[in-house]
Amino acid sequence: MPSNSYIRKLDAATTAPLLEIRGLSKRFDGVLALNQLDLSIYPGEVFALLGPSGCGKSTLLRLLAGFESPSAGSILLDGEDLSQLPPHRRPINMMFQSYALFPHMTVEQNIAFGLKQDRMARPAIAAKVEEVLSLVQLSDYGRRRPHQLSGGQRQRVALARCLAKSPRLLLLDEPMAALDRKLRIHMQLEIVAILDQLKLTCVMVTHDQEEAMTMADRVGIMNNGVLGQVGSPVDVYEHPNSRMTAEFVGSVTIFDGVLRSSGGGVATIDSPALDAPLCVAQEISGTVGLNVSVAVRPEKILLSRHHPGQQVNLARGFIEDIAYLGSHSVYHVRLPSGKRVLASRTNQHAPAGGAERRLSWDEEVYLCWSEHCGVVLAS
């Protein structure tokens, strides 16, 4: 997973939240889409909502924008309850996935539209349009129409239109969905740099985990209308608190088993999928025989043709499939128990006359990992 270059250190003990969501619920025809959701978002923070389709993340964004009314709970921005305010009276702007640009208007006219609705004076509008066009590096494109722009340029215009009204909170709905991968990566960093420059608070919804990990200071994993885990991208990836989070964020192998012993900062678990015991550098409160699940990420697992010499966190199997991903390959290894384990390896070219040849299909291999690499899941 890529690391976030823009994480801002916030002291939650001394920094008051800009946005507070308290007990927020939403029902559609009796179906609960959001269930008693609580969340605090801090000034200058980029917060990403991740989760499967239908989990409630887009509903939350629409509630913040004012396009939906809550069934219960409150939305506080700087202490003011916005729950009953219409969208045009909220100091919040939303950038839609489709960009929603007016095709018959020029770039300048698109950006100025909201300012005219607010009855801003013409000289002030012209100055603001010029300012935001410069900010998104489109100063020479003001007279063009949307169809004359590339996808990345249209996205910048949509962002400029949002920034022109100087919102207290910016909402991004799948902001990079329409872009190709290379441009998407470039725009992720560019948008975060602009938000950082303006010290603008942002809540974004995305299906792209890499996008969330790259752009966000914190990530919220949603499922069935509730937030299952909130934390930094590193925390959510390295220390998932549930099976759902572990399986949703990145790739993972989960071993189910029963607790054999726990003490001295180490827990030992017997799993029917493995011949050797699992050992985790984490104490588990519970009695012997307790059902336990342990998650291990592919990059934590070492893959070799030779026995590594350890007696725990060890497996032997055959390579069933290989996914070549350029910088690394993911190996699907089938164990004698039938369990499939994912292990990744960087694709490094060995020097002339160098190391062993690449692993291939149907080869017998050993897998092992450190006791610090497994994570015990709460549920």
Q: Which CATH architecture has domain 251-376?
A: Beta Barrel (2.40)
pLDDT value at residue 356: 57
pLDDT value at residue 354: 45
pLDDT value at residue 379: 61
pLDDT value at residue 240: 95
The number of angstroms, rounded, from the C-alpha of 31 to the middle of its chain's C-alpha atoms is 26
Q: Considering only CA atoms, which of 256, 259, 350, 273 is closest in space to residue 317?
A: 273
Residue 29, number of CB atoms within 10 A of its CB: 4
pLDDT value at residue 285: 86
CB environment 223-241: b (16+ within 10 A), e (fewer) = bebbbbbbbbbeebbbebb
Nearest-10 Cα torsion for 129, 130, 135, 139 = 120
Phi, psi of 211 (to 5 degrees): -60, -45
Query: Do strands 19-28 and 72-77 pair parallel, antiparallel, or not at all (unpaired)?
Result: antiparallel
Could you tell me the fold of the domain covering 19-91+167-246? Answer: Rossmann fold (3.40.50)
Q: Could you tell me which residues come within 8 angstroms of residue 245 by beta carbon, excluding any fewer than 6 positions away?
A: 221, 228, 229, 236
List the domain boundaries for the chain.
19-91+167-246, 251-376
pLDDT value at residue 96: 83
pLDDT value at residue 111: 95
Rounded Cα–Cα distance for residues 241 and 193 (Å)? 30
> How does pLDDT run along the chain (379 residues), one tens digit per residue?
333 433 444 555 457 999 999 999 999 998 999 999 999 999 999 999 999 888 999 999 999 999 999 999 999 999 999 988 999 899 999 988 778 899 999 999 999 998 998 899 999 999 999 999 999 999 999 999 999 998 888 988 999 999 999 999 999 998 887 677 788 888 888 889 999 999 999 999 988 888 999 999 999 999 999 999 999 999 999 999 999 999 999 999 999 999 999 999 999 999 999 999 999 999 898 889 999 999 999 999 999 999 999 999 999 999 999 999 988 999 999 999 999 999 999 987 654 444 457 889 999 999 999 999 999 997 6
